[in-house]
Amino acid sequence: MKTRLIFLVLLFLTSNCQDRLNKNISGNFIGTWALVKCIAIQQDGAITFPYGEKPKGQILYDTKGNMMVVIMNQGIKKFNSDNPFQGVPEEIIPAYNGFLAYFGTFKILTDSSLIVHNIKACSFPNWVGQNQKRRFEFEDNKLILTTPEISNVRFELTWEKLK
């Protein structure tokens, strides 16, 4: 009887500690983050900058489990027309290739240091309805998200929390 009581108390404390750890980690995500760096790491280790060396972007996580992200290359030239629907292919292709936006919900898998973005809408239509996994790491006031390989390339995005 005494052993069973000790076991139940330990089980409760362990469960309670895990719940607090999960809440602390999820609390670290909540807020708005500015993109500091986005690199693409090739299989041979070569690094490129898919959105330029000074990308612009934000990612937002809220307390209700919603998220959204916008990333763009600041070096994209303006269209000749002020109407966004009157671009020519020479303007549209670099604009599309230099931009990514999506929103949806998120879930944190603390035991594997993964965050899963369930994508509801995306500028790249192939991702709509997908669960995109990102390995996460916190370093000071920065959040580093790393993708699994996508077409033999792994992406690493560094975000800094806005105050």
Q: Is residue 20 part of a domain?
A: no
pLDDT confidence bin for 8, thresholds 50/70/90? very low
Single-letter amino acid code for the residue at 53: E
Q: Is residue 17 part of a domain?
A: no
Residue 27, φ and ψ in degrees, nearest 5: -65, -30
Single-letter amino acid code for the residue at 43: Q
Q: Is residue 25 part of a domain?
A: no
What is the pLDDT, as a whole number, of residue 42? Answer: 95
Question: CATH code at 107?
Answer: 2.40.128.280
Q: Is residue 22 part of a domain?
A: no
Q: Say yes or no to pLDDT of 131 above 90.
A: yes
Q: Is residue 71 part of a domain?
A: yes
pLDDT confidence bin for 163, thresholds 50/70/90? confident
What is the pLDDT, as a whole number, of residue 21? Answer: 40
Q: What is the DSSP letter of 163?
A: -
What is the pLDDT, as a whole number, of residue 4? Answer: 61
Q: Say yes or no to pLDDT of 159 above 90.
A: yes
Which pair of tokens denotes residue 106? 């998120």
> For the chain, what is the domain count?
1
What is the chain's mean pLDDT, rounded? 88
Residue 128, φ and ψ in degrees, nearest 5: -60, 130
Are residues 87 and 96 in contact, defined by beta-carbon separation less than 8 angstroms? no
User: What is the residue range of 108's domain?
Assistant: 31-161
Q: How many CB atoms lie within 10 A of CB 6?
A: 10
Nearest residue to 115 via CA among 95, 137, 93, 98: 137
Q: Is residue 116 part of a domain?
A: yes
31: which residues sit within 8 A by CB, 6+ positions away? 60, 61, 161, 162
Q: Is residue 144 part of a domain?
A: yes
Q: Say yes or no to pLDDT of 109 above 60.
A: yes
What is the pLDDT, as a whole number, of residue 22? Answer: 44
What is the pLDDT, as a whole number, of residue 56? Answer: 97
Higher-scoring residue by pLDDT: 12, 59 = 59
| % of the chain surpassing 70 pLDDT | 84
Q: Say yes or no to pLDDT of 24 above 80.
A: no
What is the pLDDT, as a whole number, of residue 128? Answer: 98
Mean pLDDT calculated for residue range 96-114 = 95
Q: Say yes or no to pLDDT of 48 above 90.
A: yes
Q: Is residue 136 part of a domain?
A: yes
162 vs 4: CA distance, rounded Å? 48
